[in-house]
Amino acid sequence: MLRFFVLLLLLLNGLYFAWSQEYLRGYGFGPEKTGEPQRLSRQIHPEAIRILSVKEAQDEAATAQAPAKPAECLQAGLFDERQAEAIRQALRDALPPEAWSLNPVTEPARWIVYMGPYPNAEALVKKRKELAVLKINPENVGNPKLVPGLTLGGFDSKAAADTALATFKQRGVQTARTVQERVEVTGALLKLPAVDEALRARLKTLSPAPISKPLQNCV
């Protein structure tokens, strides 16, 4: 029995030696080759390897861990007929039809209770302080022709603005008056109901950029 085990051990050692030296390669047996060209064939796109700095690695890790920003409704406008047609042609080819819309909108005239214009920024600051004493919080005007000036409120009609002006005068405001900040405007409003990161990236690739006014949250 002992002789059998010795012979079996010698046989196994001989087979391992023949296998390791690739003497059995012709019979389909042999160790896996690790030299060339086998090693190169196992590489997966080595040209895609990129060396990152510590900051780049941290930034990419933070980006990967950050939750995706939810889609939001954005709008821009108003656009005249020529601007709207340029937007329509650009978005028709770049985005699916359900991702955007251009709708006719009439922006009503706006009247304000106005104070100004003031000769300089110092005068504007002084007037703000005087109004603060009266517990009135003014805002800057939106019409560049009325800058530098302040508005105490905006209204859809001159009658409503005149009524508000009378109330402010009773509170001690004597130099205000009603003016029309803008006239009625008809145009097209661009609406993007669900803007995610992918859609935002596609909008940035539009060249030339047809959306000439800033995108804002939908009202």
95 sits in which H/E element: none
**Above 70 in pLDDT, residue 87?**
yes
Q: Tell whether the model's pLDDT for residue 174 goes beyond 80.
A: yes
Per-residue model confidence (pLDDT) at position 4:
64
Q: Is 172 left (phi over 0), alpha (psi -120 to 50) or beta?
A: left
pLDDT of residue 101: 95
Of the two residues 201 and 66, the one the predictor is more confident about is 201
Banded model confidence at residue 100, pLDDT cuts 50, 70, 90: very high
Cα gap 84→102, rounded to integer Å: 7
| Mean pLDDT for all residues in the chain | 83
* Beta-strand runs (E) in 32-100: 72-79
Burial (CB count <10 Å: 0-12, 13-18, 19+), residue 85: middle
The CA-CA-CA angle for residues 198, 192, 205, to 5°, reads: 45
Look at residue 191 in the predicted model and tell me its pLDDT: 96
The pLDDT value recorded for residue 178 is: 97
- Write out pLDDT tens, residues 33-55: 555 555 555 555 666 677 777 77
pTM assigned to the model: 0.52
Enumerate residues 6+ apart whose C-beta is below 8 A from 4: none
Question: Residue 46 is encoded by which pair of tokens?
Answer: 């080595």
Q: What is the pLDDT of residues 156-168, one digit of tens each?
A: 999 999 999 999 9
The percent of residues in the chain predicted with pLDDT above 70, rounded, is 74
